């Protein structure tokens, strides 16, 4: 998961990321910090964040104005407001934020707000259940489809690559994912490889994954993959 934190106080930006990791018990959550709304908006065009922790009282573009910009675009990113002003709590409700954290009691209120965000993400984000092979522990875990970069066959198993660099090996069929709900933004580039179009770059007859590795597109699938990639990118930019 990717969270954005926007606050014009550097001390707050230093405090929140480790607290999020501690309260969530999830080291895979990545936090990007921004000192103002303009910095966030510049990055947001290229990076789709799962949640936004947003200071209200900021110069130029305050938290409420930024929220209005996002909502006017049809963006429903979950937002938790952060502020040192109690008088803004009531006003914040009109923006339908998931939480409200006061800086004076940051640690106490952030824990509850974070649990609300995580519950909302689990409710709205498609996931799959993966049981790893015995050599990897044979454990079962829930994986967000959006966090998958690539799924490929490997030694008669399925290897699932995640955005955080982790890999999971499971016994399954690639067709399970090709035909599964939630995989609409994936493209099959060859007999044994399925990629998430949100996490790859298309280059000639291959795709480049986030880790820099590449996968070749089979000749008979090149046109279909290119068309799917361009259609997806066009949708993202609209």
Per-residue pLDDT of 16-64, as tens digits, reads 999 999 998 877 788 999 999 999 998 887 777 889 999 998 989 999 9
**C-alpha to C-alpha distances, 175 to 112, 124, 152, 188, 189, nearest whole angstrom:** 40, 24, 11, 10, 13
**Per-residue pLDDT, 236:** 46
- Best CA proximity match to 3, nearest among 27, 42, 25, 32: 32
CA distance 144 to 164: 12
**Per-residue pLDDT, 71:** 81
Lowest-confidence pick of 4-13, 46-55, 101-110, 207-216: 46-55
Host H or E run for residue 64 = helix 63-72
**C-alpha to C-alpha distances, 219 to 129, 199, 223, 224, 226, nearest whole angstrom:** 32, 21, 8, 10, 12
**Per-residue pLDDT, 220:** 95
Is the pLDDT confidence value at 225 over 80?
Answer: yes
Is the pLDDT confidence value at 158 over 80?
Answer: yes
- Binned at pLDDT 50, 70 and 90, residue 216 comes out as very high
- Whether the predicted model's global pTM rises above the 0.85 cut: no
Domain ranges of the chain: 2-124, 127-237
**Per-residue pLDDT, 144:** 82
Range 127-237 has CATH code 2.40.50.1020: yes
Torsional class of 46: left (φ above 0), alpha (ψ -120 to 50), beta (otherwise): alpha
**To the nearest 10°, the Cα dihedral for 79, 85, 90, 94?**
-30
| Greater pLDDT, 23 or 87 | 23
pLDDT in tens, 126-153: 888 899 999 988 988 878 898 899 999 9
CA distance 49 to 38: 15
Beta carbons within 8 Å of 35's beta carbon, 6+ residues apart: 6, 7, 8, 10, 13
CATH number of the domain at 2-124, please? 3.40.50.2300
Give the rounded percent of residues in the chain with a pLDDT score beyond 90: 51
**Per-residue pLDDT, 124:** 65
- Binned at pLDDT 50, 70 and 90, residue 80 comes out as very high
């Amino acid at each position: 998961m990717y969270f954005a934190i926007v606050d014009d106080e550097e001390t707050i930006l230093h405090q929140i990321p480790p607290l999020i990791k501690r309260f969530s018990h999830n080291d895979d959550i990545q936090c990007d910090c921004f000192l103002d709304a303009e910095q966030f908006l510049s990055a947001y065009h290229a990076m789709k964040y799962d949640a936004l922790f947003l200071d209200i009282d900021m110069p130029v573009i305050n938290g409420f104005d930024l929220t209005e910009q996002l909502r006017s675009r049809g963006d429903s990113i979950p937002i938790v407001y952060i502020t040192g002003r109690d008088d803004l709590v009531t006003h914040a409700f009109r923006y339908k934020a998931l939480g409200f954290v006061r800086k004076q009691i940051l640690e106490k209120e952030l824990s509850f707000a974070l649990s609300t965000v995580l519950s909302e993400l689990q409710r709205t984000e498609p996931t799959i259940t993966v049981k790893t092979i015995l050599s990897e522990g044979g454990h079962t875990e829930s994986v967000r489809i959006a966090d998958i970069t690539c799924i490929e066959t490997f030694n008669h198993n399925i290897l699932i690559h995640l955005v955080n660099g982790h890999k999971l090996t499971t016994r399954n069929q690639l067709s399970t994912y090709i035909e599964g709900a939630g995989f609409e933004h994936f493209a099959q580039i060859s007999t044994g490889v399925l990629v998430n179009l949100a996490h790859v770059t298309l280059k000639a007859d291959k795709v480049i994954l986030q880790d820099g590795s590449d996968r070749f597109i089979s000749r008979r699938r090149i046109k279909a993959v290119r068309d799917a990639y361009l259609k997806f990118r066009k949708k993202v930019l609209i």
